[in-house]
Amino acid sequence: MGSTRDSKAVAAERQEIIRQAVAHMEGSDRSVLLRQIARMELRDDLRIPEALLAQLRTAAPNTPEFYGCWSVARSLLRVAQGASRAERIARLSLAHVYGGGTTARLLKGEPAVDVLGSLRETSERGGFGRQAFESIATFDGEALLAHAEADGARYVVPEDIDWPETLRALGEDAPLGLWVRGTASLAELAGTAVAVTGSRAASDYGKHIAGYLAGGLADRDVTVVAAIGHGADGAALAGALVRGEAAATPIGVHAGGVTGPYGEAMLRHERWILSSGGLVVSLCAPGVPLSSARANQRQWLMTALTSAVVVVEAAIGSRTANTPRVEGRPLLAVPGPITSSLSAGTNTLIRDGAAQAVMSVDDITAALARP
């Protein structure tokens, strides 16, 4: 009986330390709290990597080394108050088999762990789920998650406090989970967020306007969400980032894995976003390559994460011109020269009433304010 009481007391103490650590993430006493966590070695609860724990034990408080460790541990602490480890791994396993863009509709309201169990039973009977489960059986979700966490990434799911309200509002149409890099709160950054997107082959006009609008939104504490890459989206991210510490930091969205063998230009954008306090997100696990289908999913994710989408330039029939819509969230478009094929898509959206015309940051914020 004594050992049971002791284990319950330790568990309660651990939970209290986690609660305090999350509550005081930005407080002056965070070094003390984190040292307590390190001493208690919460590997089973938080999966804080052993190397990180070792650094936390030895680093002197209030030093760059210590706060570097803290930035990684902070994201893991935030996840600790959400879904169980088993549920998180079950969700990312299902996303691995069915694709990162798979929505919660697959679960039919059941825990992912139970859905995996049903899939196992079906496969053992030789049912339709056999091939899917064989794929899951060879997939080591625990190893993937542990490796990602060691690199500062996390897999956020609806049970987490970091799950954005914009995704929660989608219900069963929300993704199973989302890969995130960076130490900021996804829920907070996505609280007031606008996607600024456009053609990868954007004109100088398109890139200028994307950067101008994104910078103006960042100055008004609106998070800019854009694809990590070239063209209008890259210009939008740069426009938000150059505004400095007083402005809102952006969210960059990958079409491939949350980490991957990207080109130097994309990696440079990643580093800039993360060093500014922003986030890099993806529906895909680390290492998943880019593809056209995943680029479509990225466009959907940008819409799902935000309260409005601004299309700066888009050719007719392009992925950007066909940006998915979420009911109740405005689709906005910037008009362009009628002689430009890159503006034909946005001009058509406006002409057909599919999008509202915007020509300034004021137009965008006004659209956000309308019920």
Read off the tokens for 164. Answer: 């954005």
**Do residue 168 and residue 194 come from a single domain?**
no
177 and 215 share a domain?
no
Tokens at 101, concatenated: 């863009």
Task: Give the integer Cα–Cα distance in Å for 79 and 187.
Answer: 12
The interaxial angle of helices 231-241 and 264-275, nearest 10 deg, is 30
What pLDDT does residue 68 have? 60
Assign residue 247 the CATH number of its domain: 3.40.50.450
Compute CA distances 168 → 11, 48, 250, 306, whole Å: 30, 27, 20, 12
Q: What is the mean pLDDT of the chain?
A: 82
Of 194, 190, 192, which Cα lies nearest the Cα of 182?
190
Looking at the fold, whether 40 and 154 belong to one and the same domain comes out as no
Tens digit of each residue's pLDDT (9 = 90 or more) over 66-118? 656 655 565 555 555 556 788 889 999 899 888 888 888 989 888 898 888 88
Judgement on whether residues 335 and 242 belong to the same structural domain of the protein: yes
Count of structural domains, the chain:
3
Q: What is the pLDDT of residue 355?
A: 96
Residue 157 and residue 193 share a domain: no
Residue 155 scores a pLDDT above 90: yes
Q: How far is CA 262 from CA 197, 229, 255, 256, 257, in A?
A: 20, 10, 11, 9, 10
Q: Looking at the structure, do residues 28 and 112 belong to the same domain, yes or no?
A: no
The dihedral sign for the CA sequence 50, 15, 88, 185: negative
Q: CB–CB of 182/112 below 8 Å?
A: no
Q: In the prediction, which pLDDT does 316 show? A: 94
Could you say which DSSP state residue 180 is in? E
- Tens digit of each residue's pLDDT (9 = 90 or more) over 13-63: 555 555 555 454 444 444 555 555 544 444 444 455 555 556 655 666 556
Q: Are residues 268 and 231 in the same domain?
A: yes
**Is residue 252 within 8 Å of 181, Cβ to Cβ?**
no
Query: Using an 8 Å Cβ cutoff, are 96 and 143 in contact?
Result: no
- The answer to whether residue 158 scores a pLDDT higher than 60 is yes
For residues 330 and 350, state if they share a domain: yes
Same domain membership, residue 243 and residue 273:
yes
User: Of 264, 246, 254, whose CA–CA distance to 288 is shortest?
Assistant: 254
Instruction: Give the whole-angstrom CA distance, residue 112 versus residue 83.
Output: 11
Looking at the fold, whether 215 and 100 belong to one and the same domain comes out as: no
Strand 331-333 to 308-311 pairing: parallel
pLDDT higher for 371 or 301?
A: 301
Q: How far apart are CA 145 and CA 147, in angstroms?
A: 5
Q: Which helix (H) or strand (E) holds 18?
A: helix 2-23
Q: Which of 258, 295, 274, 262 is nearest to 189 (CA)?
A: 274
Best CA proximity match to 306, nearest among 212, 209, 186, 210 = 186
Among 38, 55, 80, the domain boundary falls at: 80
Q: What pLDDT digit, counting tens, does each position of 160-192 carry?
A: 888 999 999 998 999 999 999 998 889 999 989
Q: Are residues 60 and 73 in the same domain?
A: yes
Using the 3D structure, point to which of 64, 80, 96 is the last residue of a domain: 80
Q: What is the pLDDT of residue 330?
A: 95
Helix (H) or strand (E) holding 156: strand 153-156
Give the three-class secondary structure for 356: strand
Output the furthest CA–CA distance in the chain (Å, rounded): 81
Euclidean distance between CA atoms 325 and 22, whole angstroms: 34
pLDDT at 29: 46
Q: Which of 26, 57, 80 is the last residue of a domain?
A: 80
What is the dihedral sign for C-alpha 73, 74, 78, 79?
negative
> What confidence tens digit (pLDDT) does each residue in 228-275 have?
988 999 999 999 998 867 678 999 999 999 988 788 888 888 999 998
| Residue matched to tokens 């990312």 | 92
Task: Domain of residue 25: give its range.
Answer: 2-80
Higher pLDDT, residue 120 or 147: 147
Give the pLDDT score at 243.
84
Do 270 and 134 belong to one domain? no
Taking alpha carbons only, the member of 243, 350, 301 closest to residue 103 is 301
